[in-house]
Amino acid sequence: MASPTSPTAYINCPHCAGRMRTYGHVMFSALTKQLVAACQNPDCLFSARVGIEITQQLQPSLCPNPDIAAALTR
């Protein structure tokens, strides 16, 4: 289980289970972005595009953006 104080998520390589480094964040919208993840294992070197999407709100914002609130309650 991840520590609640851990500031970032990380991605494990699906091939060798090594830690992947992420870079090249591209924002597609306020709710989706894409980045590139590269395996740090020198014997693997797999890299891939990774999509991140906010799919469901758990706690509504106290300062909601109306467009985002509408998108998340569709």
Binding of Zn ion by 11 (CB under 5 A): no
Residues forming beta bridges with residue 50, ordered by sequence position: 35
Point out which span in 27-35, 40-48, 49-57, 59-67 binds Zn ion (CB under 5 A). 40-48
Binding of Zn ion by 22 (CB under 5 A): no
Nearer to Zn ion, 15 or 49 (CB): 15
Which residue, among 49, 30, 47, 31, has the nearest Cα to 39 in the 3D structure? 47
Binding of Zn ion by 39 (CB under 5 A): yes
Decide if 57 contacts 74 (C-beta within 8 A). Answer: no
Q: To the nearest whole angstrom, how small is the minimum distance from the Cβ of residue 4 to Zn ion?
A: 27
| Both structure tokens of 51 | 């999509």
